Chain A
Amino acid sequence: QKEVEQDPGPLSVPEGAIVSLNCTYSNSAFQYFMWYRQYSRKGPELLMYTYSSGNKEDGRFTAQVDKSSKYISLFIRDSQPSDSATYLCAMRGQEGNTGKLIFGQGTTLQVKP
């Protein structure tokens, strides 16, 4: 079993829809949680960076972390065609370790005009 599980999709939604992307994980030592967006043939771009449990909002994006359930989510409101990309969740343990990230497989999102 992988440390981080993410449904690869693809996920197709109409423009303006609310999108929910999710990851589950098995390692309770993970403390830092990230969402990256990756356009085709580009490197991952950091979207959200959160520590421990709770919510974080940035514009149309909201990240949620539920450590008790080992479950993280990214919500995209008012989705746009420009949001069409692959979304990767990533996580790591406490400061002081190597900082290497463990990634999910990525979910491919298509927002149709």
Chain B
Amino acid sequence: GAGVSQSPSNKVTEKGKDVELRCDPISGHTALYWYRQRLGQGLEFLIYFQGNSAPDKSGLPSDRFSAERTGESVSTLTIQRTQQEDSAVYLCASSSPSREQFFGPGTRLTVL
């Protein structure tokens, strides 16, 4: 079946604008994760969804960042009033509970 998909693949925005990133997990995967990868760095955890609820939001760097998930499927990560330090690749992963995480191709965000 299809893997994790993310859109857009690339997003260039101006400082101060809001952006919305989308993740479509593997069908049937109840767990969904967002990570951020800065240039030359490993992945940083942002938020975890189990179903439509987010029991762990500990990685969100500021209140400009928020995420939601609907229908135990699609998730959106929203960054308000973007800053240059938000430039990174945003990766989504999904899994069955306590199983391996499968990653999407990521959204490359550039804030000018």
Which residues of A come within 8 Å of B, CB atoms?
4, 6, 8, 34, 36, 41-46, 49, 88, 90, 95-96, 98-106
Contact = CB atoms under 8 A, between A and B. Distances in A.
Contacts of B35: 101, 103
A46 B98 CA distance: 15
A43 B106 contact: yes
A45 B72 CA distance: 23
Interface in B53-112: 55-56, 59, 91, 95, 97-98, 100-106, 108
Interface of B: 4, 31, 33, 35, 40-45, 48, 55-56, 59, 91, 95, 97-98, 100-106, 108
Contacts, number: 59
Contact of B42 (A42, A49, A104): A104
Nearest to B33: A100
A8 B40 contact: yes
Contact of A99 (B41, B44, B98, B104): B98
Given A45-B103, A46-B100, A99 B91 contact: no
B98 A103 contact: no
Contacts of B97: 99
Contacts of A4: 42
B73 to A, nearest CB: 18
A100 B97 CA distance: 11
B95 A44 contact: no
Contact of B103 (A43, A100, A104): A43
Contacts of A8: 40
Q: Which of B35, B43, B59, B106 has the most CB of A within 10 A?
A: B43
A27 to B, nearest CB: 14
A105 B37 CA distance: 10
Nearest to A98: B56
